[in-house]
Amino acid sequence: MQTNFDNLVQIRRSFHQIPELALKEYETHALILKIIKSFPQDYLEFKNIDSMPTALLVRVRGSNPHRTIGYRCDIDALPVTENTGLKFSSTHAGIMHACGHDLHITVALGILRHFSTSQPADNLVFFFQPAEESQSGSVLAFQSGAFTQEFQPDEFYGLHDTPLLEAGTIGCRMGTLFAGTTEVNITLSGKSGHAAYPQNAQDMVVAQAYLITQLQSIVSRNVDPIEGGVLTFGKVTSGTIRNVIAGQAVIEGTIRGLTQEMIELIQERIRVICAGVALALDCKIDVQLNQGGYFPVQNNSALTKIFIKFMRNSKNIRFEETPPAMTGEDFGFLLNQFPGTMFWLGVGPTSSLHSATFNLNEQAIQPGVNAIIAFLEDRMRKEHPSNV
């Protein structure tokens, strides 16, 4: 199977039509495997994960390997109802590739197709990862022993598409590319009662409002403004009817930080403030903080310097150095386990990621494939990883 531009576009559109949610990517997995099976198999070896049946690892055997280079590609979609009007729109109601993972898959397959016919010098491991958008698929795969023995990478790379760069442009930076995130779930429990007798109740609407106000002081008064951090509460629920004092309330939100230290600082301040408010208002406050695998995406200094230098100096590649973003990505967990680099692939101006009208420019596909192949081939000509 040839993977020229027209083929790659058709591949992307095929995946776009069958988006699936985290850990349910069965059609996606089957199509990925079918396409890879159409490639020459001389250098390929497959590995499945019993506990994650939609995950797939493909190893390309190197001709004279000094290292194993990992390349990660996420494959899940989002619970978004598509509103693009495309002829190849999602056929799965209420689910859409609104984050561009259909492009991620296509680029990975284009790279893999090249190395299935042109044997690489080093070993390559392609990781088609389920559950990036939720469920922390990178953590599940790592804990299952996916990256062991011949499938253990010495260094790991991965991309994310962005509408903030022109189609086909590569973006990267030293240090943190994406923020780390933490889900915040707070439950306040008191005593409900009649609206006319507040002295006999513990009003969790008042407690909820007071607590939110106190928590909003964390970023403004505890976080270094130069470093930055985000604490957002996007959902609050309490009460059942206007004349009943609510005995329970729930607050749901998210933490974003560019360093793990910043995230842990905000987490600790949430715990302390909640304990204080519970004591002051004589109620119970339960705090659940779930970071999962969404660590800050902190690029390895030595490898990223090599990556940026190559991209910047290549005449056929458009490259931009980009600022950090407060979006989250569970590739941060893998970069916490293996040295590596994450980078952007521009898909041209369109709606924002995760929106129902997100419609990437397919002209980004071939330049993305070409740039990564060129980088990997250049990387294989470098010294052993210990001498990066």
Residues acting as catalytic residues: 74, 133
Is 114 annotated to bind ligand?
no
Is 101 annotated to bind ligand?
yes
From CA 81, how far away is CA 70, in angstroms rounded?
A: 33
Q: Which two tokens stand for residue 92?
A: 């799965």
How many CA atoms are closer than 13 Å to the CA of 39, on its beta-carbon side? Answer: 24
Distant-in-sequence, close-in-space partners of 4: CB < 8 Å, separation ≥ 6:
none
Q: Supply φ then ψ for residue 230, to 5 degrees.
A: -130, 135
Question: 3-state class of 52 per DSSP?
Answer: strand
- Across-strand partners of 126? 58, 71
Is 92 annotated to bind ligand?
no
Of 3, 347, 344, 370, give the one whose Cα is nearest residue 157: 344
Q: Which two tokens stand for residue 16?
A: 């776009």
Is 354 annotated to bind ligand?
yes
Is 99 annotated to bind ligand?
yes
Contact 228, 266 (CB under 8 A): no
Q: Which two tokens stand for residue 249?
A: 């309330």
Distant-in-sequence, close-in-space partners of 194: CB < 8 Å, separation ≥ 6:
200, 201, 243, 244, 245
3-state helix, strand, coil in the chain (%, to 5): 35, 25, 40
Binding positions for Mn(2+): 99, 101, 133, 160, 354
